[in-house]
Structure 1
Amino acid sequence: MANYRTRLRNIGCPELSINAAKEKRRTTGKGPNQVKKPRKAEVSYCPDYPIGETKASLELERKILLLEVKKKNQPLIKAKMERTFAYRRQEIIQDMPFITEFQDRWPALFSESELNAEFTRITTVPLLSRIMSKLDHYTNQLMKVFRKKGGAAGHKMSMIVAAMDKNPTVETRRECILKALCVYLNGNPENFIKDYVVVEPGAMRAMEEKVMEIYVIRHEGAEPTESPEDVGIIIEGVEVLQDLRDVANGCAVLFGLIYSLNLTYPKRPEIHV
């Protein structure tokens, strides 16, 4: 067993070969300084290709998938995304492409349904239903914790959750809980969930400067409790998703993007919702 990992690496086990010194020098031009390893709950971090498939055959599948995306053939898109999962995952882990490059190669991934499916492939856990059910389950307990918080943070959380009384919808409740949780963790929710007015000058320029953000578009004069005109996600200054309906859904989808694209968690604590 002493050389078990070496044997696995020699026969081409992807999760071990990506951390070989030779491989790191090939992809980065430098010696190894960081170990690529799964996050918590990642079951399929860097899987092998399906039996009988090669890099060339899966690249052909990817090109066929691009054509099906244009045709909007959803059943075939789902099947092709499932089949090319290992190829796509190894590309993300090994090559670490920029978001714009990856969008061009895998446009089908950037939808709510496919991100949910990709997250399930990686973790075996359904993304949206699990996050929403847990958020709703712990809402009352979180409210009790928030009420005990004093000082400026406690006052700010009280102002945030007060919106729940004005608009007692499940979407508003979830948004308020997430924003209050940011404050409780000594963060500023505005650094993570940013409201923009439709006619606000410089809004697009401000978005392009963001590394990771959920943007909320509201019409001029809208109350915070009113439904937004659009909710989307910015990564590396690029709008990767839009029409996400509400803030809580945007948070869940962003969580799926972090796993699906193997992104590094931002260091600001308010992002860790």
Structure 2
Amino acid sequence: MALITQKMDITFSLRRKEVVEMQPLVKEMQLRWPALFLKEQICAEFSRITTKDLMGTFMTALDTYSLWLIKLYRVRTAAFRNDMDSLLQKFDEQVSNIVQHRRTISLEGLPIFVRDDETKLFLTCLDTDPVERATRGVTVGILTVLEDYVGSNSQSTVINTAIVLEEDIILDDLPDLPTAFAYLFGLLYGLNMEFPKELKYTFEAVQHIFMELTSTCSQRIRSFKTKLLTKV
């Protein structure tokens, strides 16, 4: 792994020039730079570009804000579709691993709160369904694969969490949705991909508030940040 990192360090400027100027498809980048899609190299590439620790910065920010995000969601529930109610009810039903569930609900509620289309980002399918059906037309997404069986607790078991880019699964067998979200954000930077229009405020919130990578933001995210920081 040290040798791979060394080679990726040496070829960084060449790779960035290719990514920025040629804007290749993700499949082309997988063929040209397969190491770029390794978990360690996603983090390393993000650090090369931003000088920030991808996983450390993201998870620390998520833990800092998650409790207050959920409180904001509860206060403003009436302003949103029933999706927010369902999300919070799912959280309230949890009796174990509350910190992890809080992280997940914070992220799942974010696009709803900033009025993006969360169905374009968070995808689900059963393990008996064709994966191609779930990824069709998806530019950027996180796919949660559920076991096609519901026991007495009426909750499906998550058997896989994967990142989807340009209709293909790029990285799978991830431990949870927050981890997948962090790697997805890192890949968007590493591949110089624009935030999808229907999810631009979600990723802008992460970029500006969680990761502190920009000094300016849209009015919508500025308002969201003000609401959030008055709670923290």
Aligned to 1:196: 125
- Does residue 147 in structure 1 map to residue 74 in structure 2? yes
Contact (CA 8 Å) 2:147, 2:157: kept in 1 or not?
no
Contact (CA 8 Å) 1:198, 1:218: kept in 2 or not?
yes
Contact (CA 8 Å) 1:115, 1:253: kept in 2 or not?
yes
Contact (CA 8 Å) 1:182, 1:188: kept in 2 or not?
yes
* SS at structure 1 position matched to 2:8: helix
Aligned to 1:219: 147
Which deviates more, 223-232 or 262-271?
223-232
- Does residue 208 in structure 1 map to residue 136 in structure 2? yes
* SS at structure 2 position matched to 1:204: helix
Q: What is the aligned counterpart of 1:240 among 170, 178, 198?
A: 170
CA distance in 1, matches of 2:95, 2:9: 40
CA distance in 1, matches of 2:52, 2:139: 27
TM-score (structure 2 length as normaliser): 0.78
1:162 deviates by: 2.9
Aligned length: 199
Contact (CA 8 Å) 1:127, 1:256: kept in 2 or not?
yes
CA distance in 1, matches of 2:182, 2:156: 20
Which structure 1 residue ranges, 4+ long, deviate > 3 Å from structure 2?
222-227
Inter-CA distance 186–168: structure 2 relative to 1 (3 Å threshold): farther
1:268 deviates by: 0.5
Write out per-residue CA displacement over residues 8-27 of structure 1, whole angstroms, 9 at most, x where no aligned residue.
xxxxxxxxxxxxxxxxxxxx
Contact (CA 8 Å) 1:172, 1:225: kept in 2 or not?
no
CA distance in 1, matches of 2:53, 2:132: 33
- Does residue 111 in structure 1 map to residue 41 in structure 2? no
Q: Which one-letter code corresponds to 2:138 in the other structure?
A: K
Contact (CA 8 Å) 1:119, 1:127: kept in 2 or not?
yes
- Does residue 255 in structure 1 map to residue 189 in structure 2? no
Q: Which one-letter code corresponds to 1:213 in the other structure?
A: G
Q: What is the aligned counterpart of 1:163 among 90, 103, 108?
A: 90
Alignment of 1:46-125 (within 5 A): 74-125=1-52
Q: Which one-letter code corresponds to 1:193 in the other structure?
A: F
1:224 deviates by: 8.6
Taking only aligned residues, the RMSD between alpha carbons, in angstroms, comes to 2.1
Contact (CA 8 Å) 1:214, 1:233: kept in 2 or not?
yes
Q: Which one-letter code corresponds to 1:115 in the other structure?
A: I
Which deviates more, 247-256 or 147-156?
147-156
CA distance in 1, matches of 2:158, 2:8: 31
CA distance in 1, matches of 2:44, 2:161: 21
Inter-CA distance 242–266: structure 2 relative to 1 (3 Å threshold): same
CA distance in 2, matches of 1:231, 1:257: 16
Aligned to 1:268: 198
Contiguous gaps of at least 5 residues in structure 1: 1-73
Contact (CA 8 Å) 2:80, 2:113: kept in 1 or not?
yes
Q: Which one-letter code corresponds to 2:198 in the other structure?
A: R
1:225 deviates by: 6.2
Aligned to 1:46: none
1:230 deviates by: 1.1
Q: Which one-letter code corresponds to 1:137 in the other structure?
A: T
More helix by share: 2
1:150 deviates by: 3.7
Aligned to 2:110: 181
Inter-CA distance 224–92: structure 2 relative to 1 (3 Å threshold): farther
1:78 deviates by: 1.4
Task: Give 1 or 2 for the bigger CA radius of gyration.
Answer: 1
1:188 deviates by: 3.6
Structure with the larger RCO, 1 or 2 (CA within 8 Å, 6+ apart): 2
* SS at structure 2 position matched to 1:214: strand
CA distance in 1, matches of 2:154, 2:11: 42
Write out per-residue CA displacement over residues 148-173 of structure 1, whole angstroms, 9 at most, x where no aligned residue.
11426275323213333414423322
Aligned to 1:65: none
- Does residue 137 in structure 1 map to residue 67 in structure 2? no
